[in-house]
Chains A and B, each alone.
Chain A
């Protein structure tokens, strides 16, 4: 493990840390919002480039691996954060909060560094440390508007439940260590512990519960809607995109790379959880009246769709099919990042202009600002999974269902049918919003306050989402893993 190797392998992390130092310095000496923003975006961009600086494992070390999995997930994490940075800039523009910008960006970069560790780790300790490095700044970001009652409540909830989830995960990891006597993925995979089923079962259940808390799978989803409704919208977009990607990276690493051999123990748990998530998450979404809560339940449901990947991966035996299952989940993850950020940036614009996210404030959006209205519609159709107009959002779900059907077992057929049923239920709440957007009568009279940055985000994300669907031969979807 030479110095040069380590430097180029961890280059993106170093870039992020360097960016954090510069940000803190500029907060003290320059004190300009634009500078903080520019620094953050440049840091994230160079970190994306840095991800491609090194390939393979470090010589003589089994704790990190910088392969294609790392690159895909790290790039997606950083890519999502760039757009979130745009939204944060628009959101934290009140006089009271504008000086906080640098601090929020610092926390965000720190969380990204955690994400890079999670994606590259092949050892349970760095995996866990990276995950916590993502989670703790996240609590701080949610708590940022601490003068507002809802924000404090949201921060309290995410902190306490996050701590609970962490402790469950740590407990599971320690049981895992007890069962296998190792922390490295390859030795964990290789160790044979068939005679301690109870221990394996307990460890799997703890890990599944801990991860489900973080991903928001039913019945561990209660905190999500309160946090979404209370936290600043831009921070919610961070949670719906970056945090979600890192959460799934962690879960994929843990279940699909470290303990795939224990799938007998966790497949059933994930099957039940995903079925509950897809049905209950969508059904509760129908009952909501505030758009942020609808978004929260849509997030829960989308997490359920992606979590089907765990079951798909475990139930196929061929390695090609396995990587297809993972690729399907990853494509849906890309779609959720693109669609959720663009949907939430519209919510951000509306909340900034009218002060509330009530459904009636979205009335006439299409007429008053066609760019915003149209991209909102495309985003919602993507989340709904409408073919063609939904772009990648349709393709992702389609591939997940296809991967389930290729597994061709009773469980995966059930999951495929539940996924389809769930997305039918979701039509009710998505179409309700779309309908409000299209109606012209009784629209709010105040003009919509938008900014060039958010419009840029909307246009780029919408076009990316629609365009990626037609790039089948350019971006070889299947060769993602």
Chain B
């Protein structure tokens, strides 16, 4: 089929891995020129971004969310039975997330310039992480998906454990064990799919097979819950969210940005691709069992929107507050999925993209604050007067804070609006409207903790912490401008990225 696009995709997937190995093996040979590693890594990410946008303008600008893929190639097989195929492809679900990956990676690689400790290892791991994330978004075989999914764990573990804050070991181990355990549960789900499928791990084959094989609803429910455990832990939602605040707080700011911007989206993407998309051709989700599943999602989503928002209200650490707000925002994605209509799915993807550009910016801003305060603190009460001492950072903080709180004309609002309008139109609405109203209420809390934090950090009385602050350097503030640009773009002209999502959502319902 369109093998040129696939070749381009292969380059996008493996270029970072190749440079990752090169930097890790030979990076130490050039210690004299200290800047080499970061410029190589930035170059790679930049080339990746250009390639991805090329792919976007070439294949997706017309608003078609159709799957672009090649024929599967057998990787290894077991007498035609245990078949692992190699197949990659993009469609209206993965392409927006691929674009998002590039934006977030570009922002975080530039804002990593403050790291001077063991740069070769850092940028090597960074690029390896990049391959893991891209691979998760574009593979169409469950075995490969699982491999790439797990590959992201290892570099992230080291990024937290080596360049993290004071409590880094605890946080990195907690992160690793939570997500690894969850993905092994997901693996059992994948096995379940394999033994009930036609002896293949290929997602497209499985999707077609389940459509015709008359797989029972109870079985789909079991599979769905098994994979759901894996995805919801990465996602994360209450009650498996406890690793996230620790990991975010202890990780270095670029690490937090990737964690919030992309690793959480992997959970959402996986749920949509493996949990929903594969079974979309069956009538499961409109059956009674399917309704039960969606009701569970709705309840989890509402609890996860409401409860972490309340916790965020009383947080002292800026990063911790943003981390809890992330959990709260990801609940919106689940609301969209629970609604189970076109609008809901578009809302889910859009929320992931919107949150993916907004929350990294907030994490990077809190990194700037941490680097510029005297005692390197992020405690909200001690940092005050950002507007006075660092006006540009202060302005951006207000901008991104409002975006996260869901101000109209910014990306977050579009997603939340779509999500709630979808749930009001779904078949769950009449009977469970009370639950939904609770979810809507949580937006007020979100707005209040952001406003309160902004009031203290940006406009508060300037204390002694920021006395010696210097204006943020270009590589500190530049990435945030980039993210702010996309926040505004997706808010004012959502159509640029929403068209493919719409087309994709229409094609699967």
Contact = CB atoms under 8 A, between A and B. Distances in A.
A427 B173 CA distance: 9
Contacts of B181: 424
A440 B82 contact: no
A435 B78 contact: no
Interface in A372-418: 374, 381, 386-389, 401-402, 405-406, 408, 416-417
A435 B161 contact: yes
B187 A478 contact: no
A176 to B, nearest CB: 33
Most buried by B among A367, A381, A402: A402
A472 B84 contact: yes
Contact of B177 (A402, A406, A424): A424
Contacts of A374: 24
Contacts of B118: 367, 440
A54 B274 CA distance: 50
A434 to B, nearest CB: 9
Contacts of B84: 472
B161 A438 contact: yes
A278 B89 CA distance: 39
Interface string A431-453: 10001001110000000000000
Interface residues on B, range: 35 or more
A438 B82 contact: no
A477 interface: yes
Interface stretch (B147-155, B390-398, B461-469): B147-155
Contact of B151 (A320, A389, A431, A435): A389
A424 B154 contact: no
Contacts of B150: 386-388
Contacts of A423: 184
Nearest to A474: B76
Contacts of A402: 82, 191, 194
B506 interface: no
Could you say which of A324, A388, A424 has the most chain B C-beta atoms within 10 Å of its C-beta? Answer: A388
A477 B176 contact: no
Given A387-B147, A388-B150, A472 B76 contact: yes
B390 to A, nearest CB: 32
Contact of B75 (A438, A472, A476): A472
Nearest to A420: B184
Nearest to A395: B76
Interface in B41-79: 74-79
A416 to B, nearest CB: 7
A381 B155 CA distance: 13
A362 B24 CA distance: 20
Interface string B100-142: 0000000000000000001001000000000000000000000
A401 B186 CA distance: 13
A477 B147 contact: no
Contacts of A476: 76
Nearest to A404: B191
Nearest to A367: B118
Given A427-B176, A438-B162, A324 B78 contact: yes
Of B75, B78, B154, B161, the most chain A CB neighbours within 10 A belong to B78
A370 interface: yes
B225 interface: no
Interface residues of A, number: 34
Given A440-B118, A473-B76, A408 B195 contact: yes
Contacts of B188: 416-417, 420
B449 interface: no
Contact of A435 (B82, B148, B149, B169): B169
B154 A370 contact: no
B25 interface: yes
Given A405-B195, A435-B161, A478 B146 contact: no
A466 B311 CA distance: 45
A416 B188 CA distance: 9
Nearest to B185: A420
Interface in A349-374: 366-367, 370, 374
B180 interface: yes
B158 interface: yes
Contact of A427 (B25, B149, B180): B180
A431 B161 CA distance: 11
Contacts of A478: 77-79, 82
B191 A405 contact: yes
B28 interface: yes
Contacts of B176: 427, 431
B435 to A, nearest CB: 33
A387 B146 contact: yes
Nearest to A417: B188
Contact of B25 (A370, A417, A440): A370
A320 B158 contact: no
Interface in A289-326: 320, 324
A395 to B, nearest CB: 9
A386 B154 contact: yes
A416 B226 CA distance: 14
A383 to B, nearest CB: 14
A359 B462 CA distance: 48
B243 to A, nearest CB: 14
A397 B421 CA distance: 46
Nearest to B28: A370
B79 A320 contact: yes
Contact of A424 (B74, B180, B195): B180
A428 B28 CA distance: 30
A320 B77 CA distance: 13
Contact of B184 (A324, A424, A472): A424
A473 B74 contact: yes
Contacts of A435: 161, 169
Nearest to A377: B154
Contacts of B149: 387
B503 to A, nearest CB: 33
Interface in B160-193: 161-162, 169, 173, 176-177, 180-181, 184, 187-188, 191-192
A388 B147 contact: yes
B177 A477 contact: no
B135 to A, nearest CB: 9
A476 B173 CA distance: 37
A216 B86 CA distance: 39
A439 B163 CA distance: 10
Contacts of B161: 435, 438
Contacts of A472: 75-77, 84
B154 A473 contact: no
B191 A401 contact: yes
Nearest to B118: A440
Contacts of A416: 188, 191
Nearest to A479: B79
A374 B161 CA distance: 17
Contacts of B169: 435
A461 to B, nearest CB: 17
Contacts of A324: 78, 82
B151 A387 contact: yes
A147 B194 CA distance: 56
A401 B187 CA distance: 10
Contacts of A427: 176-177, 180
Contacts of A370: 24-25, 28
Interface of B: 24-25, 28, 74-79, 81-82, 84, 118, 121, 146-151, 153-154, 157-158, 161-162, 169, 173, 176-177, 180-181, 184, 187-188, 191-192, 194-195
The 3 closest A-B pairs by CB, nearest first: A472-B76, A478-B78, A387-B147
Interface of A: 320, 324, 366-367, 370, 374, 381, 386-389, 401-402, 405-406, 408, 416-417, 420, 423-424, 427-428, 431, 435, 438-440, 470, 472-473, 476-478
Given A472-B75, A476-B76, A477-B76, 4 more contacts: A381-B154, A386-B154, A402-B191, A440-B118
16 contacts: A324-B82, A366-B121, A370-B25, A381-B154, A386-B150, A387-B149, A402-B82, A416-B188, A427-B176, A427-B177, A431-B173, A472-B75, A473-B75, A473-B76, A476-B76, A478-B82
